[in-house]
């Protein structure tokens, strides 16, 4: 491998360690995003409050549209909030035309309702009664869909509906750390005369939370997620550093009553993704000290597993997903008692139509790195046909990565895209665990990552995080963390480094 890898890796590890805060977690705040900023401007304009904050938001939106425009859907919201005329090319259906996902119908309804609300307010009256039903979905989605239902038919809202929406009026950080859900709920609450004064007060508080350049992020941050992934990398690079023990303690203290973990502090909605990464880290860093936490996290994951053997993101019964299932496998596999569960989940992966999934990550390499690791967890005691199928699928995944590698050694979101450090880091993790035949591709990938390291030792990258899918949002701290995970996976093996 590259002669400069050990020194560069050590420098990045120091940088990530230095990010750990007094609470034991790595602060990972979100950056402003156009969608939430446009909704905030629409609310400030409609309620005629905080004119200075409204001007700041306008400047943020105009500057972003001019210098770094996001996807067509968010651009449509920005233009609508700014009072610009929308063209046919900026409709919701056009913007989501390429998004093939089980949640697409709900996304169409959501964004069309919101865009209508901040423009002419002429909502459809022919929607079926269950169009906005989100029973059994994640907490913020339930609030969001209730708000959309109320926006379209406020007179039909019950007293219980209004009480649930009032979560958006709480002082302090947004409920479940979700700015989008809070803003959508405020759009609904302003339609009730009793709540309108409280909406205006809430808008004044939110205006004070704007980031320096204006605007709001999608979520406040991803401190739990970032700390867990960083912890996995640091247990390989700096295993004896006492700050790792503090991070393990901090994460264990934030386990939800159901045994799972949310993406940041204060989020009570557990999910498979954060729980899997946190479980991996705790098992590596403090398996005895946090044995009870580890067991509870395993039990949470198994409670989410679907009859098909796969895992959803948030709730049992939602569609199983490739990356979530692979992540759960990687977290559960070290426990011999979970071997049957791991084998069932691997079988789900092998039965999938494809392993290239773009979901919470909008690139192909995220799911593929998790899948390649998951397929390698089978032990000799697993059924021979399952092991053979897993080997073949792993070979196909590695072949896909080597065939889509860009000339500079990296990967982007799609084949042919400009390489970025995060997409490249994911692929590097997979190649580092691949057979020796992938060594040339791994060497080029490391060269790409090391060339992208900035003078301060850190990384800047195009984001891949999506939410609501497929809209991108940025958590800049993750660039350093994902690259460190990749570099930490590149250890001496078979006589080569």
Assigned domain for 496 exists = no
Looking at the fold, whether 187 and 274 belong to one and the same domain comes out as no
Assigned domain for 494 exists = no
The secondary structure element, H or E, covering residue 233 is helix 223-237
Average pLDDT over residues 274-302: 99
CA 190/CA 460 separation, integer angstroms: 39
Q: 431: domain CATH number?
A: 1.50.10.20
Assigned domain for 217 exists = no
CA 329/CA 374 separation, integer angstroms: 6
Which of 104-108, 130-134, 282-286, 300-304 is least confident? 104-108
Q: With the CA atoms of 369, 371, 376 and 380 taken in that order, what torsion angle do they form, in degrees rounded to the nearest 10?
A: 170
pLDDT at 123 (0 to 100): 83
CA 273/CA 293 separation, integer angstroms: 16
pLDDT at 89 (0 to 100): 47
DSSP string, 72-100: HHHHHHHHHHHTPPPPGGG-HHHHTTT--
CA 483/CA 16 separation, integer angstroms: 11
199 pLDDT exceeds 50? yes
Helices first, then strands: H and E counts in the chain: 21, 0
Looking at the fold, whether 179 and 302 belong to one and the same domain comes out as no
Write out pLDDT tens, residues 166-183.
Answer: 999 999 999 999 999 999
Looking at the fold, whether 478 and 338 belong to one and the same domain comes out as yes
* Structure tokens that stand for 164 in this block: 């649930």
Looking at the fold, whether 39 and 23 belong to one and the same domain comes out as no
Looking at the fold, whether 96 and 17 belong to one and the same domain comes out as no
Average pLDDT over residues 294-321: 98
Looking at the fold, whether 419 and 299 belong to one and the same domain comes out as yes
Number of Cβ within 10 Å of residue 458's Cβ equals 19
Assigned domain for 483 exists = yes
Assigned domain for 214 exists = no
Assigned domain for 348 exists = yes
Looking at the fold, whether 24 and 38 belong to one and the same domain comes out as no
* Structure tokens that stand for 394 in this block: 């792993």
Looking at the fold, whether 22 and 111 belong to one and the same domain comes out as no
Q: What percent of the chain clears pLDDT 90, i.e. is strictly above it?
A: 88
Compute the mean pLDDT over every residue in the chain, rounded to the nearest whole number. 94
Residue 285 belongs to domain spanning: 5-28+222-489
Looking at the fold, whether 200 and 238 belong to one and the same domain comes out as no
Please say whether the beta carbons of 232 and 277 come within 8 A: yes
* Cis omega (within 30 of 0) for bond into 446: no
CA 333/CA 127 separation, integer angstroms: 46
Which of 25-29, 60-64, 129-133, 409-413 is least confident? 129-133
Assigned domain for 304 exists = yes
Q: What percent of the chain clears pLDDT 70, i.e. is strictly above it?
A: 96
Looking at the fold, whether 274 and 374 belong to one and the same domain comes out as yes
Strand partners, 261: 271
26 pLDDT exceeds 60? yes
Helix (H, G, I), strand (E, B) or coil at 221: strand
Q: How far is CA 145 from CA 142, 152, 169, in A?
A: 5, 11, 17
Contacts of 250 (CB under 8 A, 6+ apart): 23, 24, 25, 227
Write out pLDDT tens, residues 221-263.
Answer: 999 999 999 999 999 999 999 999 999 999 999 999 999 999 9
CA 141/CA 208 separation, integer angstroms: 25
Buried (b) or exposed (e) across 391-414, using 16+ Cβ within 10 A? eebbbebbebbbebbbeebbbbbe
pLDDT at 3 (0 to 100): 84
Assigned domain for 462 exists = yes
Residue of 22, 24, 314, 316 lying closest to 176 (CA atoms): 314
* Structure tokens that stand for 165 in this block: 């929406």
Looking at the fold, whether 390 and 457 belong to one and the same domain comes out as yes
pLDDT at 87 (0 to 100): 61
Comparison of pLDDT for 129 and 172, the residue scoring more: 172
368 pLDDT exceeds 50? yes
493 pLDDT exceeds 70? no
Looking at the fold, whether 229 and 181 belong to one and the same domain comes out as no
* Structure tokens that stand for 247 in this block: 């991070």
Write out pLDDT tens, residues 425-460.
Answer: 999 999 999 999 999 999 999 999 999 999 999 999
| Percent helix / strand / coil, the chain, rounded to 5 | 60, 5, 40
Average pLDDT over residues 209-215: 93
Indicate the pTM of the whole model. 0.96
Comparison of pLDDT for 26 and 4, the residue scoring more: 26
CA 298/CA 225 separation, integer angstroms: 17
Please say whether the beta carbons of 19 and 246 come within 8 A: no
* Structure tokens that stand for 75 in this block: 């651009």
Of 184, 208, 232, the domain-final residue: 208
Q: Active-site residue numbers? A: 273
pLDDT at 135 (0 to 100): 86
Domains: count for the chain: 2
Please say whether the beta carbons of 57 and 210 come within 8 A: yes
pLDDT at 384 (0 to 100): 98
* Local confidence band at 497 (pLDDT 50, 70, 90 cut-offs): very low
CA 168/CA 450 separation, integer angstroms: 44
Write out pLDDT tens, residues 349-367.
Answer: 999 988 889 889 999 999 9
495 pLDDT exceeds 50? no
């Amino acid at each position: 491998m590259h002669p400069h890898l050990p020194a560069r890796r050590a420098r990045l590890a120091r940088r990530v360690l230095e990010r750990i805060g007094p609470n034991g977690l790595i602060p990972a705040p979100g950056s402003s995003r156009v969608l939430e900023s446009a909704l905030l401007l629409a609310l400030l304009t409609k309620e005629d409050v905080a004119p200075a904050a409204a001007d700041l938001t306008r400047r943020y939106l105009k500057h972003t549209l001019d210098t770094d425009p996001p996807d067509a859907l968010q651009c449509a919201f920005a233009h609508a909030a700014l009072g610009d005329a929308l063209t046919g090319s900026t409709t919701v259906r056009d913007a989501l035309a390429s998004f093939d996902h089980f949640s697409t119908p709900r996304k169409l309804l959501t964004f069309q309702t919101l865009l209508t609300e901040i423009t002419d307010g002429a909502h459809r009256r022919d929607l079926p009664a269950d169009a906005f039903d989100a029973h059994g979905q994640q907490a913020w989605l339930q609030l969001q869909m209730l708000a959309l239902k109320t926006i379209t038919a406020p007179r039909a809202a019950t007293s219980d509906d209004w009480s649930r929406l009032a979560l958006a009026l709480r002082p302090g950080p947004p409920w479940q750390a979700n700015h989008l859900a809070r803003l959508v709920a405020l759009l609904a609450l302003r339609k009730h005369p009793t709540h309108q004064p409280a909406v205006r007060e809430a808008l004044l508080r939110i205006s004070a939370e704007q980031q320096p350049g204006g605007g709001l992020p999608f979520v406040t941050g991803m401190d739990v997620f970032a700390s867990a992934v960083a912890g996995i990398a640091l247990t390989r690079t700096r295993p004896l550093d006492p700050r790792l023990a503090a991070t393990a303690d901090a994460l264990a203290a934030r386990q939800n009553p159901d045994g799972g973990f949310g993406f940041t502090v204060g989020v009570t909605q557990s999910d498979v993704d954060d729980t899997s990464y946190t479980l991996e880290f705790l098992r590596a860093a403090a398996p005895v000290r946090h044995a009870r936490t580890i067991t509870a996290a395993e039990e949470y994951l198994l409670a989410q597993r679907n009859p098909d053997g796969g895992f959803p993101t948030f709730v049992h019964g939602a569609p199983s997903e490739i990356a979530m299932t692979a992540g759960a496998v990687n977290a559960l596999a070290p426990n011999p008692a979970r071997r049957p569960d791991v084998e069932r989940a691997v079988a789900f992966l092998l039965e999938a139509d494809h392993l290239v999934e773009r979901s919470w990550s909008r690139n192909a390499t995220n799911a593929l790195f998790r899948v390649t690791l998951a397929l390698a967890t089978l032990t000799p005691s697993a059924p021979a046909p399952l092991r053979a199928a897993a080997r073949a699928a792993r070979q196909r995944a590695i072949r896909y990565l080597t065939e889509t590698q860009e000339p500079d050694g990296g990967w982007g979101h799609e084949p042919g895209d400009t390489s970025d450090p995060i997409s490249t880091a994911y692929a590097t993790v997979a190649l580092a665990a691949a057979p020796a035949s992938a060594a040339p591709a791994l060497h080029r990938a490391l060269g790409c990552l090391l060339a992208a390291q900035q003078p301060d030792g850190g990384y800047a990258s195009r984001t891949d995080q999506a939410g609501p899918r497929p809209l991108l949002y940025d958590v800049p701290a993750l660039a350093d963390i994902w690259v460190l995970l990749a570099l930490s996976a590149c250890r001496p093996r078979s006589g080569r480094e």
